[in-house]
Amino acid sequence: MIGVIDLGIGNLENVRRAAGAELISDAYLIERAEKLIFPGVGNFGEVAEKIETWRGPILDFIADGKPFLGICLGLHYLFEGSEEQPGVPGLGVFRGRVVRFRGVRAPHIGWNRVWQLHEAPIFRGIRDGAYFYFVHSYYPEPEEDVAMAYTEHGDKDTLRFISGVWRDSVYGVQFHPEKSGQNGMQLLRNFRRL
């Protein structure tokens, strides 16, 4: 069973349907899942109180080596913290923090290309430079070698930012696969097959 963490934010139903998953609204039911998706649209601080109940079960799930996918805000929470809400800790799975776009238009909304840095299993069957759908004003700055993909954003001044991370069985993407047509469906199919 693939579980989708239900913190009451974001487009949970779209993610659940696209991934063929079940919503999990009780942190202690995570152990039933074989794979776990942490989706999210919203503010890093909005989730701060809600995430505390989930922190231990999520970290145990990841420590067990089970496949985990963080989407957008779910990706952000894999890091130690975010400029969006200073002082609020992330899960700290990856070293680094999440920062706000500077010098380019924000939020970054719409279709953009994702360039693969590694042949990650989650990108199997997806061509390099494929388009995915983004909605965000923040992006991760890893302090360790976990970058899986990058995207370029901006008109006159272009910023290259990390749009995907990966280590072992933990993946995170800045884009929304559930809104990304065939490429997104392929990515979610690949996640199901891990």
Residues with a known catalytic role: 72, 176, 178
Q: How far apart are CA 120 and CA 166, in angstroms?
A: 8
Q: Which residues are CB-contacts of 145 (< 8 A; sequence separation ≥ 6)?
A: none
104, exposed or middle or buried, with CB in 10 Å at 0-12, 13-18, 19+? middle
What is the Cα–Cα distance from 177 to 158, expressed in whole angstroms? 23
Rounded CA gap, 96 and 141, in Å?
6
Q: Which two tokens stand for residue 47?
A: 């989730």
The SS3 call for residue 191 is helix
Tell me the β-bridge partners of 142: 96
Rg (CA), the chain: 15
For residue 114, give both structure tokens: 């994702």
